[in-house]
Structure 1
Amino acid sequence: MQSPQAGRDLTEDDDAADTRSNAAGESANSPDGSVPARKRPKPGERRVQILQTLAAMLEEPGADRITTAALAAKLSVSEAALYRHFASKAQMFEGLIEFIEQSIFTLINQITERDADPALQARRIVFMLLQFGEKNPGMARVMVGDALVFENERLSARMNQFFDKIESQLRQSLRAAAERAGSQTPTVDANGRASALTALAVGRLQRFTRSGFKRSPTEQIELALGLLT
């Protein structure tokens, strides 16, 4: 996962201090006093590792609330080490949300640029959204808000805005589809269908997460999309 930057960047001082500390210990134990080269994370690598681990922990059964202590233990680092890279746990979740936003909206742009049929655009956007959640179960829990229940409320608000943007894009595609089909009320038609498709996507993702990732969100989705577009 190539996560976007959020919070403070890695500092050379932190990594250099870790290197000096480790080198001193190895030098004391080495018969010839030589210090083996120590590979340290490149700038940004530790941040990505933290976010990847958080996402993986969200996939585990019973992961109702993940503490920074549990996350630090999973990474075999101190909690203080986490806060070198993120100012708070909320900022870690913001890093996951940024990854979701960038991934999904990049794919939406590709779909709208590639497919000339606006109705097909809408179907593919919803299918892509559900596929993304299925392939990234931890992210799906963030998307539907299950992982954010005990976190800062601004995170849930941001995910709500995410789905508002999805609905807006669907509305745009479906209005064009309605106009092409000769509808006398293309805006009304598009608004209703976009709302239904967004609700379908959210509902499918919720069912997926609350079934312990057993019920596929794309189950018989072609039939449902055909009825709504």
Structure 2
Amino acid sequence: MSDTPTTILDESTAQALDIPQEISPPAVGRKRPKPGERRVQILQALATMLEHPDGERITTASLAAKLQVSEAALYRHFASKAQMFEGLIDFIEQSVFTLVNQIVLRDAGQSEGSHGLGLRQAATIVAMLLQFAEKNPGMARVMVGDALVFENERLHARMNQFFDKVESSLKQCLRAEAVDHADNAPKVDAALRASVLVSFSMGRLQRFVRSGFKRLPTEKLDACLHLMLG
């Protein structure tokens, strides 16, 4: 692997990691937002506010001020702030697992038993996950639970389930690798490798958030992946 982690992802996958960040308050005389548009604006505003942690908990009042609307306007679209965070988690899950499926399906046409295929898929999934967080720092805070402190416990449970599902996807890739080459190489413990990769990813995300987004999660990523998968 090279020293540049972004080379792991193809261009279309890398571009799909970005989310819209521009939050525009409603202009004077602007028409009423289309169905669903205000909901998206609220989630975008929340994600943007999470990118600038100042030690203060985000309130519905501060979120409403960001959008220049009333708190009542927020509650017309979300029953609670917890439901807003659930909307962000929905976005994280949909974005990441859509890309996981694309990574796996992209290689589906390769001949069965292609050497190193499972390892490459696992490396690409880890790179994609870390680059998603790097491009969307507010989402990274949700992923590690930093933004969910004092929030409903079910939100923490959902993020735990998210990483369990990532681990399952990695295990599936690595298990295929072990089966394909069982006769030619020592048996690979797919479950152990998947667990190590997820623990590494979670650690990188924690460091990214706790450093105020200064320590990038993709720092020397190819070298790290080579140590774990090479």
Q: What TM-score bracket applies, with the shorter chain setting the length?
A: 0.7 to 0.9
Cα distance in 2 for residues equivalent to 1:65 and 1:179: 48
The counterpart of 2:39, out of the listed 41, 47, 56, is 47
Whichever residue aligns with residue 114 of structure 1, its letter is: R
What is residue 148 of structure 1 aligned with on the other side?
148
CA distance in 1, matches of 2:54, 2:91: 24
Q: Aligned runs of 1:128-147 on 2, under 5 Å?
A: 128-147=128-147
Q: Deviations over 1:40-67 (max 9, x none)?
A: 2111110000000000000113154211
Q: Is 1:54–1:71's contact at 8 Å kept on the other side of the alignment?
A: yes
Residue of structure 2 in register with 1:61 after alignment = 53
Q: Can you list the C-alpha shifts for 1:46-89, whole angstroms capped at 9, x where unaligned?
A: 00000000000001131542111111111111111100000000
Distance 2:57 2:30 in 1: 35
Larger Rg: 1
Checking the alignment, whether the CA contact within 8 Å between 1:148 and 1:155 is kept in structure 2 is: yes
Q: CA contact under 8 A between 1:57 and 1:63: conserved in structure 2?
A: no
Per the TM alignment, residue 223 of structure 1 is displaced from its structure 2 partner at its CA by 1.1
TM-score (norm 2): 0.80
Q: 1:181 deviation in Å?
A: 3.2
> Is 1:211 equivalent to 2:219 in the alignment?
no
* Structure in which a larger fraction of residues adopt helix: 1
- 1:71 to 2:69 alignment: no
Query: Mapping of 1:1-229 within 5 angstroms?
Result: 1=19, 38-115=30-107, 116=110, 117-182=117-182, 183=185, 185-186=187-188, 189-229=189-229
Cα–Cα, structure 1 residues 63 and 50, in superposed 2: closer, same or farther, change >3 Å? farther
Q: TM-score, normalised by structure 1?
A: 0.81
Identity of aligned residues (%): 70
Counterpart Cα distance in 1 of 2:61 and 2:68:
10
Pick 1 or 2: higher relative contact order, CA cutoff 8 A, min separation 6.
2
State how far apart, in whole Å, the 2-side matches of 1:149 and 1:78 are: 25
Residues 64 and 147 of structure 1 are in contact (CA less than 8 Å); yes or no, is this contact kept in structure 2?
Answer: no
Query: 1:18 is matched with which residue?
Result: none
Q: State the number of aligned residues.
A: 194
Q: Cα RMSD (Å) of the superposition? A: 1.6
Unpaired runs of 5+ in structure 1? 3-21, 23-36
What is the rounded CA distance, in whole Å, between the counterparts of 1:127 and 1:64 in structure 2?
A: 31
